[in-house]
A and B are shown apart, each in its own frame.
Chain A
Amino acid sequence: MRYLPHTSQEIKEMLAVVGQDDLEALFDPIPAGCRRQGLNLPAALSEWELDAHMDQLAGGNAVAPGAKVYVGAGSYSHFIPAVVPYLAGRGEFLTAYTPYQPEISQGTLQAIYEYQTLACRLMGTEVATASHYDGATALAEALLMAVRKTGRPRVAVSRLVHPHYRQVAATYLHPAGYEMLELPARPDGTTDLAALERAGEVAALAVQSPNFFGCIEDLAAAAAAAQGGGALMVAGFTEALAYGLLRSPGSLGADIVCGEGQSLGLPQSFGGPGLGMLGSRQALVRSLPGRLVGRTVDQEGRPGFVLTLATREQHIRRERATSNICTNNGHCALRAAIYMAALGGTGFARLARLNHDKAEYLKGKLAAAGHPIPFGAPTFNEFVVRLPDGFEAVHRRLQQEGIVAGLPLACDYPELGGCYLLCATETASRQDLDRLVKEVSS
């Protein structure tokens, strides 16, 4: 096996040092009743055979360019410049552990500090953590943080937050006895903030913008409503690119901002690994879950970076930590930093604008073809459309041609039978979009 360097001569020499006659004797401390007799696994493959096997498995999934998938809903198709995987793939980044020894980890540490900085500029926060697993767990952690900070056991979450994110938040909150209230939607596709007044005292109000229907929420009004009742405003997102065009959640008054950074140069990869982004106001920094990199100096006064504020974390604080997180998604944060720097402020804003315009083009064409757009609020790069009765059959037929004409909403929103969530990013050409409208209307 090419990963195992030992020769039989070396094994003999090493066993002599250890004082054993054979390799099996190394396991003498393990009682007989604990042993496993042989594993039943497929035979080992050579590198050639592995390539063929994996090509075959990968071929069982519908991806561009053969397939056209007009679905976002938390995972977005964006072009990834070759420079991103090239740089992130350098072994010095990829094969290092968490930077606990800063003298030989300055590459990771400076890159994460740069990521934190760019993430702050994107989200409009004063601090950002080094990463979480994904947008859903970042929301769950943000809600737990609000519960700890306010001492209130209930949170209010908009029904227009991604359904999977709400399910993850419930997984995290319910066993410890915390309650999650749902705020309903208004007819224009945004959150009914008036319902917050009826909810009573809560630790946090969580609103996603753009929300699951792609609609842009009034975060300033949400923040005012939350903070007026002594709650923390938690602003979420699934499409980080939106803030190339829209005002940032932090600038609109959010106390905590959390979301998914997959759009920042990460492959969709069947949903993971993504990038959980989480930031807040400076005043909340000691309550934040997750790792933070800080700038300091070495003993000769040269600038350098370290993991800091570790007294919040599990390896110091154990059961009183602000989170149990240890390994996070650091390499995804590095990729995001490279991507944000590759686009630059100018490129990022232009790309966001293009995404908006593509989706508006599709929305306009569908509306012109007679398909109602049920929600009037402005959207970013995805939106809801109501398609005619019997469209399910067309949706299935198009799938066979490799076209996924949106995500049916009825299973998560039973009141929206016949409604589909469609997404168009810069990867869809005008020709693609024209064909989609034609197929959907046929």
Chain B
Amino acid sequence: MTATPGTTGLILDEPLLWERGRSGRCGASLPPADVPESPLDPALCGEGPSFPDLSEVDLVRHFTRLSTWNFGVDTGFYPLGSCTMKYNPKTHERQAALAGFAAAHPLLPESLCQGALELIWALERDLAEITGMDAVSLQPAAGAHGELAGMLVIHACHRHHGAARSRILIPDTAHGTNPASAALCGYEPVAVASGPQGVLRPEDVAALMDEETAGIMITNPNTLGLFETQIQQIAAIVHAKGGLVYCDGANMNAVMGIVDMKAIGVDVIHLNLHKTFATPHGGGGPGSGPICVTAELAPFLPVPRVVRQGDGLRLAHAAERPLSIGRMGAFHGHFGVMVRAYSYIRSMGAEGLRRASTLAVLNANYLRCRLKDLFHLPYDRPCMHECVFSDRHQAPQHVTTLDMAKRLMDHGFHPPTIYFPLVVPGAIMIEPTETESKEDLDRFVAAMAAIAAEAGQDPETVRTAPHRTKVRRLDEVRAARKPCLAG
């Protein structure tokens, strides 16, 4: 162990919600019934859901104890590759909770929601500026939803210009959501192998690109943490065959104010506000996945659109946007997440965003250089926001990436992303983000060094980790074979 305490301390047990409480308690205050009771056909009425009856104290203890079993960015270093677990500023929670935002009905008449429309309008403009693209829709609810919206835009554009195409090129380093999103449009994904340098080669794209292929879905910087240096040539090849370039912008945190996405040939890019723009991940969402497009593709964006008219803003619906792909969600997208991202951009300003990207890249390269003597680094080149190692050096001791990830928990760190991207067997994908200080990175390096040494001297301890967490390794096979999904 390093000198840093990992998980020493008090971990309280807590039963399931319905094992607490007594029938007849209530943890909420109900308003007085100031209207007469009105009859309803008893045949329509049920018995009401069998929720447990708890006091407010029961409720607070229960969820407070549960929260202490969780590890968040607020708890410690969370270098989960491709997930950009940067610090989530607390002022964002204040802004999103303002009654004028939190209590606003989505179908308010336009004259009564100018503040919300103004925020959407301004955030769209900011994201267009940050990416270099022309138009933005904030409607997609998460990254994969943005991918779907972007694919639908590409599909609609091809259909408008004659023929819907049937295939889409997707590099072998892509996140699983890419092929799944493309498949929803009926596209058949065609895999493009990345070259020996970890980036795509134009000749490989040229060999596959044809007029039946709708375009390419490319992640840039890619999931190896490398900038796709041939992107302009690749985009030119795709465009020459009438195809379009979709960029998965999950890794935008490396290049804010650095790269011009339109200049590199991107037609559509999605952003993850819950990654790059510091909104909390919430234990799995809600996120927000805006798409940014070229002027040519703007007519296909989801409706409604916020448009300026005179001094005010209004919503343009499907009737004025006949080429739109339609509606992606019930209302305007995850407005509460947009409030936080907008607050972030206003707090950082242009220089702050560029500085954030620069320091994110510095932190990743620092870890790359500090760790490369301990762990196998398959692509030993300057990286962007993340770097990818493997467990090759530990394989002779039969210690795997999973084992070392679990052992990191005993040292008080969240593990990196593991076994992704698929092109690196036993991948350990580390993304520190810019909000981590040098001493936290140094502590992480010390823990990784201790684990590498332990893998040689006492591999069994690593193989059976974690040892000090609330629960130890869980039986996932049993969970899947005999699913118990509700109590």
Q: Given A74-B330, A340-B51, do A292 and B362 touch, yes or no (CB 8 Å)? A: no
Q: How far is the CB of A243 from chain B (nearest CB, A)?
A: 6
Q: B215 contacts which chain A residues (CB < 8 A)? A: none
A interface residues, how many (CB within 8 angstroms): 204
In the complex, the answer to whether B72 meets A96 with C-beta atoms within 8 Å is yes
Given contacts A299-B472, A344-B53, A357-B35, 12 further A-B contacts (CB under 8 A): A20-B365, A34-B259, A44-B347, A51-B95, A54-B343, A57-B118, A105-B69, A135-B330, A177-B186, A270-B106, A324-B180, A326-B177
Interface presence of A390 (CB below 8 A): no
Q: Give the chain B neighbours of A36 by CB distance below 8 A.
A: 132, 257-260, 263
Question: Once the chains bind, are A93 and B283 in contact (CB under 8 Å)?
Answer: yes
Does A244 contact B49, Cβ atoms closer than 8 Å? yes
Q: Is the interface of B mostly helix, strand, loop or mixed?
A: loop
In the complex, chain A residues whose CB is within 8 Å of the CB of B44: 216, 246-247, 378
Q: In this assembly, does A131 line the interface, its C-beta being within 8 Å of a C-beta of chain B?
A: yes
Residue picked from B96, B352, B470, most chain A C-beta under 10 Å = B470
- Produce 1/0 per residue, B343-379, CB < 8 A to A: 1011111111111101101110110111000000000
Do the beta carbons of B48 and A345 come within 8 Å of each other?
yes
Of the listed stretches B23-31, B238-246, B452-460, name the one at the interface; the rest are far from the partner chain: B23-31
Number of interface residues, chain B, beta carbon within 8 A: 204
Task: Mark A340-366 against chain B: 1 for CB-CB distance below 8 A, else 0.
Answer: 111111111111111011101100100
Question: Is A117 among interface residues, defined by CB-CB distance under 8 A?
Answer: yes
Contact of A83 among B53, B56, B144, B339 (CB under 8 A): B56
A-B contact pairs, 5 of them (CB 8 A): A4-B359, A113-B16, A270-B331, A299-B474, A329-B286
B59 contacts A by Cβ under 8 Å: yes
A89 touches B475 (CB 8 A): no
Contact B116 A270 (CB under 8 A): yes
Interface membership of A108, Cβ < 8 A: yes
Residue-wise, chain A 135-176 has the 8 Å CB interface mask toward B (1 for contact) of 111000000100000000000000000101101101110111
Is B152 among interface residues, defined by CB-CB distance under 8 A? yes
Q: Which of B443-487 contact A (CB under 8 A)?
A: 466, 469-476, 478-480, 483-487
Residues B349 and A41 in contact, CB atoms below 8 Å apart: yes
Q: Is A229's CB within 8 Å of the partner chain B? A: no
Q: A87-B63, A298-B474, A343-B26 are in contact. Are A316 and B330 (CB under 8 A)?
A: no
Question: A83 contacts B329, CB within 8 Å?
Answer: no
- With contacts A133-B329, A308-B480, A342-B56 known, is A357 near B36, CB below 8 A? yes
Check if A5 sits within 8 Å of B435, measured CB to CB: yes
B142→A326 contact, CB < 8 A: yes
* Residue B423 CB within 8 A of the other chain: no
Chain B contacts for A176, CB-based, 8 A? 184-186
Q: Which residues of A contact B169 (CB under 8 A)?
A: none
A31-B232, A50-B91, A95-B88 known; A343 and B258 CB under 8 Å? no
In the assembly, what is the distance between CA of A11 and CA of B438, in Å? Answer: 9
Q: Closest approach, in angstroms, between the C-beta of A139 and any C-beta of chain B?
A: 9
Q: Which of A121, A306, A318, A407 has the most CB of B within 10 A?
A: A318
Contact A331 to B282, CB < 8 A, known contacts A18-B369, A294-B480: yes
B8 at the interface (CB under 8 A from A): no
